[in-house]
């Protein structure tokens, strides 16, 4: 199994669920994480990544870490200083239409969104509200382009798109697609030589459907136009994703693997969870399992069954622990606080 991994955690793209998979794998195999300085949750995002943002990194004796997976703005020469050269690089993309709708709700306080009542209102005259000079403008336009380290306000041309795609292909071994999350997990398992339980997960950091808005065809077209660079990246890698599956796994085996994954997931849900799945933030009984609530979104979580044996409880708890709590716990384990 591959143990040296760089995951570019693209915002609002099921990346918290992938991060939970990496946290569990790293914890099980006693791997080290490239944590943000001081145990923070982002690597000084939205700045481009620098090796010095990592806790325990020193240019004099550059220590290398197994897994780099916290939010960052990608810059490969700096990333290469903190992970072994054998590391596998991957990321996940989401359809820019749903991505923008999600960002609008989640980052409602961002400068570009705070003065409009709806995404529609923003898209009618985006330049009235969007100021590229603002420090949080990245949430409002070509967010994936930005996270990959490129200029989200660049002019869209066939040459530029091709250069971006080539640069991503040169840096990353593969890209997952969040709309096909289960297929993505089968591909991840295949390419990292992991076992089934390593890629099983419950969806994390998802929001209640009551805060999701319906998008008319005209809004969909406006979103694609406004996020044209993201759209070009997404459509290219969505196509190569399926080509990769055809080549490396094949449809028949993919169907078998999907059935096994979904059966295992259902089995774990029956073992671990109270009720039929995720619940609203007010209904989460254990406050340590309550995810951070952000913007206008209601982020769902889980309740564990009572009376589980110690080992099962530990396994189940790791599956539903929200990102911030899990990150903090692993940070304390890797950098134990020095007693006074």
Domains and CATH numbers, the chain: 5-249 (3.40.50)
Across the strands, what pairs with 279? 301
Within 10 angstroms of residue 279's Cβ, the number of other Cβ atoms is 17
User: In terms of residues, how long is the chain?
Assistant: 340
Q: Residue 251: how many CB atoms within 10 A of its CB?
A: 10
pLDDT attached to residue 295: 76
- Burial per residue of 211-239, b for 16 or more beta-carbon CB atoms within 10 angstroms, e otherwise: eeeebeeebbebbbebbbbbbbbbebbee
SS3 category, 125: coil
pLDDT at site 294:
81
Our CA dihedral for 225, 226, 228, 231, rounded to 10 degrees, sits at -90
Query: Which ranges constitute the DSSP H helices of the chain?
Result: 15-28, 76-79, 96-106, 119-124, 126-129, 143-147, 158-171, 181-192, 196-199, 217-226, 228-248, 251-272, 310-320, 323-334
Interval 242-247 mean pLDDT: 96
Query: 174-233, pLDDT tens digit by residue?
Result: 999 999 999 999 999 999 999 999 999 999 989 887 778 889 999 999 999 999 999 999
Asked if residues 33 and 57 have their Cβ atoms less than 8 Å apart, the reply is no
* Distance (Å, whole) CA 236 – CA 219: 22
Q: Which of 24-28, 57-61, 81-85, 295-299 has the lowest mean pLDDT?
A: 295-299
155-171: pLDDT as tens digits:
999 999 999 999 999 99
Q: What is the pTM of this model?
A: 0.96
Name which of 169, 191, 146, 164 is nearest 2 in CA terms: 191
**Distance, CA of 288 to CA of 313 (rounded, Å):** 14
Contact in structure between 33 and 211 (CB atoms under 8 Å): no
CA distance 316 to 313: 5
* Structure-block tokens of residue 73: 């703005």
pLDDT digits (tens, 9 = 90+) for 319-331: 999 999 999 999 9
């Amino acid at each position: 199994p591959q143990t040296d991994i760089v995951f570019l955690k693209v915002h609002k793209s099921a990346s918290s669920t992938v991060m939970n998979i990496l946290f569990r794998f790293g914890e099980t195999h006693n791997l080290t994480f490239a944590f943000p300085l001081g145990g923070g949750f982002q690597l000084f995002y939205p700045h481009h990544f620098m090796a010095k943002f990592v806790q325990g990194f020193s240019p004099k004796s550059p220590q290398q870490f197994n897994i780099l997976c916290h939010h960052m703005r990608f810059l490969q020469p700096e990333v290469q200083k903190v992970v072994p050269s054998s590391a596998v690089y991957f990321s996940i993309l989401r359809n820019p239409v749903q991505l923008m709708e999600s960002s609008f709700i989640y980052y409602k306080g961002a400068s570009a969104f705070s003065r409009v009542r709806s995404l529609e209102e923003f898209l009618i005259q985006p330049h009235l509200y969007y100021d590229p000079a603002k420090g949080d403008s990245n949430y409002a336009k070509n967010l994936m382009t930005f996270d990959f380290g490129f200029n989200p306000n660049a002019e869209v041309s066939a040459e530029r798109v091709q250069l971006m795609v080539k640069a991503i292909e040169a840096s990353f071994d593969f890209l997952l697609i969040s709309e096909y999350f289960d297929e993505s997990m089968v591909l991840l398992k295949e390419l990292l030589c992991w076992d089934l339980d390593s890629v099983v997960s419950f969806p994390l950091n998802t929001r209640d459907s009551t805060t999701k808005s319906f998008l008319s065809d005209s809004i969909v077209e406006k979103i694609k136009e406004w996020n044209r660079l993201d759209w070009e990246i997404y459509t290219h890698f969505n196509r190569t994703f399926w080509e990769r599956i055809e080549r490396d796994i094949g449809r028949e085996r993919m169907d078998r693997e999907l059935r096994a994954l979904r059966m295992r997931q259902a089995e774990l849900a029956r073992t671990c969870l109270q009720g039929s799945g995720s619940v609203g933030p007010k209904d989460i009984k254990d406050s340590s399992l309550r995810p951070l609530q952000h913007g206008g979104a209601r982020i769902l979580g889980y309740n564990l069954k009572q009376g589980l044996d110690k080992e099962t409880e530990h396994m189940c708890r790791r599956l539903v622990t929200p990102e911030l709590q899990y990150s903090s716990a692993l940070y304390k384990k890797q950098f134990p606080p020095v007693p006074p």
